[in-house]
Each structure stands twice: as C-alpha cells, then as structure tokens.
Amino acid sequence: QVQLVESGGGLVQPGGSLRLSCAASGFTFSNYAMSWYRQVPGKERERVATVGTTGGTTNYPDSVKGRFTISRDNAKNAVYLQMDSLKPEDTAVYYCNAWNSGRHYWGQGTQVTVPS
C-alpha cells in the first residue's frame, strides 16, 4: 500500500547534473518530512537532504551543501533532489525517505554513478 518510488538515477560525468524524483502513495504525504539518503556498499547510510512538511525548511550536510537542492510538491505527492556539480564521491544508491513521529517509509533506491 505505502510506496515510495525513486527515479532519475543514472550515469553522469563529473561536474554534471541529475534530478531525482520520488513518487509517494499510500499515506498522507503532507504530514511527513521527506529526505534523501545515499549509501555505498560497506559504508554507513548518509542523509543528504531533508525538507519539512510544507517545503519551507531544508537541511543538508556539508558534503552536499551548495550542490544539492531538495524540494517537494505536496499536490503531486512528490519529492525531488536536484544534484549539481556532481563528483565521483557522490556515487551511491539514493533512497527516498518519509518520516513522521518515528515512522519511516523507504523507497527501493536509484543508482547514481559519477565516474572518476
């Protein structure tokens, strides 16, 4: 019933851009903060962006600040991650996450590859 479906991943050259999308269904999207996480095999999962329920607040770690932009469209039940100035270290599986009062919903992930 609950679904978070990521799309938009792919192979991008260093310095390039990519826009990830996450389509949500099966829950009250506007009541959940939305985040993007990424994970490299064997390494800890890292949160790279969070947007509040209305889209008015965002949060990024230093590793992506100034390069990534998260946004949401509550009318479309969608969240996006605009990634600019991509680097090889951005290579990972990117996951969409919904959060509310301790509840997490996760997508299946989409691969982003930035070759060296």
Residues of the chain below pLDDT 50: none
Task: Determine the pLDDT at residue 102.
Answer: 84
Residue 105 near residue 5 (C-beta atoms within 8 A): no
DSSP string, 37-86: EEE-TTS--EEEEEE-TTSS-EE--TTTTTTEEEEEETTTTEEEEEE-S-
Contacts of 8 (CB under 8 A, 6+ apart): 18, 19, 20, 21, 110
Task: Determine the pLDDT at residue 73.
Answer: 98
Average pLDDT, the chain: 97
Task: Determine the pLDDT at residue 75.
Answer: 97
Q: What is the pLDDT of residues 68-98, one digit of tens each?
A: 999 999 999 999 999 999 999 999 999 999 9
Task: Determine the pLDDT at residue 81.
Answer: 98
Cα–Cα distances in Å, from 108 out to 10, 16, 39, 87, 101? 15, 24, 12, 23, 22
For 98, phi then psi, to 5°, come to -115, 135
In the sheet that holds 18-25, the strands lie side by side as: 3-7, 18-25, 78-83, 68-73
